[in-house]
Every structure is written in structure tokens, then in C-alpha cells.
Amino acid sequence: MAAYAHPEFLVDTEWVAQHLGDPKVRLVESDEDALLYDTGHIPGAVKVDWFTNLQHPVRRDFVTKEEFETLCSNLGIANDTTVVFYGDKSNWFAVYAFWLFEYYGHKDRRVMNGGRAKWVAEGRSLTTTPLAYPVTTYHASTPAKGIRAFRDDVSRHLEARLPLVDVRSTKEYTGELIHMPGYPQEGAQRGGHIPGAVSIPWSQAVQEDGTFKSPAALRDLYQGHGITPEKDIIAYCRIGERSSHTWFVLRYLLGYPNVRNYDGSWTEWGNLVGAPIEKGNGG
């Protein structure tokens, strides 16, 4: 069986177990739930909250380069640290953090396959012991714009009829569901999808135990929808976290060179005045 294109970006739980306490490795837990880390985490792991640590406190954007440097410094992450991300919900938020670390130029980034749930299911230990690492002096790079799409990029993509992948659930894609019930603030004024986008829900890339599907299964899945390696691809979801998961699969597991994550996603596009929208099952 063929391997993943860039297996060096993926580690398994056993690798992590064998590197506990390795000073060159920093485990980062990134969860959807703000308190999950505090109920117990992998020994030595630090917490990066996707909202309170990675989002700009005022405008809709990520933290600035300087804020990112402060975050890494305080977590004891140096420029040459191997950072291993894991989290809840099949690693959605872990991969979102991975994506932002790439955006700011961190070199050695990996994802723990299967995430927190797999570690727990294997009966491996968790701890609530507080920890702190010596502060480092971290230098971030200027943002790697090549992995991030803004709305104007999406508009140009649409006009040029280049491929867009909508990774949300089917009901969100068809427009039946604008926002999650009870979560109106995370919604959009309009439902549907960006015209021409193909629907490939992110969850199709993972197996029951939260690990990624085999290279062959992933290749069949995306190529079966016309998402092939030579294309310039933009993935989106609702706020950009599920699509960072698909971005990771395409970029690192299948080795597609040109994949961007549109982090504005549906909460931006579905609110833009005059933006074209398609409803139903698409073309």
C-alpha cells in the first residue's frame, strides 16, 4: 500500500508515548471544549485554546505575529521545537492550530493521528499536574499567505471556475441549515454554498477511531470528486476549522501542492452582500 505523501507530519500515539519528557518535543492540546484540557491532558502537554489564544481579541482575524511570538515564548516553544498537536473532535482544532503555526512559519509541526480520543481509548495516562516551561525567545515569520484564502481570492477562484471544496455537513451545503440550532451568533444570513463548490464532508477523511483513512481511500475520495493533485484548491467550512482538517489531508497526506484554507468560510460568504450563492445539491 502506498504511503502518505508527507508521513513526517503525522505521529501515532505510541510515538508520543515514547517521547514524553523529550525536551525537544512540545505537545500542544487544542480542543473545541475550553475546559477539556483542564480535566486531564497528556503528561507534559500545554494548552492552546483556538479562540482565546489564536484569535485576535478585537477584530475578526488571527493573533498578530507579535502575539503569536509571545504565545510560543510563554509555552516554552523554541523555533526548533518539534510541536505535536492533538485534540478533541478528531483533531479539528488541533489541525487548525497546526495550520496557524505553519502560517507563522513554525518548521517542525506534527499531528497525533486519532487525537485525544484515541489516546484515551488506549488507556494511556492523563494528568492534571500543572506545568510551566522556561520562556523562550520565539521569532515568527511573516505570514505564509499561500495557505490562506481571503474572500477576494475566493471570488477570483469562482470566476475562473477553479475547484472549491465545501467540507461542511450535507444540510449546511444544501442550505437547509443556516446555523446550528441555538447558535445564531455563529450563523450566516443566507444558507447554501459557493457556486461550483463540491461537497466532501471533512468527516469522510477519518475512520471510526478518529485516525485518517488510508492513502488509497483518501485518493479515491477526493479524486472521485474531481479534486486532483495538479489543481489549485480552496477548502472552506463555517469558520475555517473543519476545512483546515481537509487542508491537512490534501496538503500533507495526499501531497497536493496548492491548497488554501478559506478561514472566513461560510460565516463570511453567507453574510456578504451580493455574493453569489447556490442552493441544493449543486452541479
Partner 1 sequence: MSAVNGLSARLEEIVADFELCEGREKLELLLDYARRFPAFPAHLQRPDQMEEVPECMTPVQMSSEVKDGGIYYYFVVPEESPTVRGYAAIMMEGLNGSSPEQVLAIPADFYLRTGLQHVLTPQRLNGMSAILAHVKRRAAAELD
Which residues are designated catalytic?
Answer: 237
Q: Draw the binding track, 32-71, toward partner 1 (x: CB under 8 A; -: no contact).
A: xxxxx-xx-----------xx-------------------
Strand segments (E) across 30-130: 46-47, 82-86, 109-112
Please tell me the count of residues contacting partner 1 according to CB under 8 A.
25
d(C-alpha 235, C-alpha 228), whole Å: 13
Q: Find out whether 63 and 71 touch, Cβ atoms under 8 Å.
A: yes
Query: Shortest approach of partner 1 to residue 158 CB, angstroms?
Result: 25
Q: Find out whether 193 and 186 touch, Cβ atoms under 8 Å.
A: no
Residue type, 154: V
Is residue 209 near partner 1 by the rule CB under 8 A? no
Between 93 and 138, name the residue whose CB sits nearer to partner 1.
93
Is residue 185 near partner 1 by the rule CB under 8 A? yes
User: Backbone phi, then psi, for 6, in 5-degree steps?
Assistant: -130, 70
Environment class of 181 (CB within 10 Å of its CB; exposed 0-12, middle 13-18, buried 19+): exposed
**Cell 505537545 belongs to which residue?**
27
Query: Shortest approach of partner 1 to residue 227 CB, angstroms?
Result: 21
Between 31 and 102, name the residue whose CB sits nearer to partner 1.
31
Query: Shortest approach of partner 1 to residue 242 CB, angstroms?
Result: 8
Query: Shortest approach of partner 1 to residue 269 CB, angstroms?
Result: 17
- Rg of the Cα atoms in the chain: 18
Q: Find out whether 112 and 42 touch, Cβ atoms under 8 Å.
A: no
Is residue 129 near partner 1 by the rule CB under 8 A? no
Which among 41, 28, 200 is positioned nearest to 130, based on CA atoms?
A: 41
Which one of 22-30, 60-68, 70-78, 174-182 is the stretch in contact with partner 1 (CB under 8 A)?
A: 174-182
Contact set with partner 1 (CB under 8 A): 32-36, 38-39, 51-52, 88, 116-117, 169, 171-172, 177, 180-186, 203, 238
